[in-house]
Amino acid sequence: MGILDGKVAIVTGAGQGLGRIESLELARLGASVVVNDLGTQPDGSGASEELAQSVVQEIEELGAKAVAAFGDVANWDDAQRIVQTAVDTFGDLNILVNNAGFSRDGMIVKMTEEMWDSVIRVHMKGHFAMIKHTMAYWREKSKAQGGEPLYGRLISTASDSFLMGNLGQPNYAAAKAGIAYLTMSAARECQRLGATANVILPRARTRMTMSGPWAGIFEKPEDGFDTFAPEHIGPLVAWISSPQAAHVSGQLLQIWGKHIRVYEQPQAALDHENQDPWTIEGLDEVLGSFFEGKKPVDDGFMLPMG
Backbone angles phi, psi at 245, to 5 degrees: -105, 25
154 beta partners = 96, 197
Q: Would you call 95 helix, strand, or coil by DSSP?
A: strand
CA quadruple 74, 78, 80, 81: dihedral sign: negative
**Which DSSP state fits 291?**
H
* Candidate list 32, 103, 172, 241, residue with the active-site label: 172
What is the Rg, in whole angstroms, of the alpha carbon atoms belonging to the chain? Answer: 21
Contact between 235 and 25 under an 8 Å Cβ cutoff? The reply is yes
Q: Is 172 a catalytic residue?
A: yes
CB atoms within 10 A of CB 118: 19
* Candidate list 7, 137, 176, 241, residue with the active-site label: 176
d(CA 74, CA 130): 8
The string of DSSP letters for 121-145 reads IIIIIHHHHHHHHHHHHHHHHHHHT
Contact between 154 and 134 under an 8 Å Cβ cutoff? The reply is yes
* Candidate list 159, 161, 241, 242, residue with the active-site label: 159
183-208 core/surface letters (b: 16 or more CB in 10 A; e: else): bbebbeebeebebbbbbbbbbbbbeb
Q: Is 159 a catalytic residue?
A: yes
Inter-CA distances, 146 with 151, 193, 219, Å = 14, 11, 52
**Which DSSP state fits 284?**
I
Q: Is 176 a catalytic residue?
A: yes
**Residues with catalytic function:** 159, 172, 176
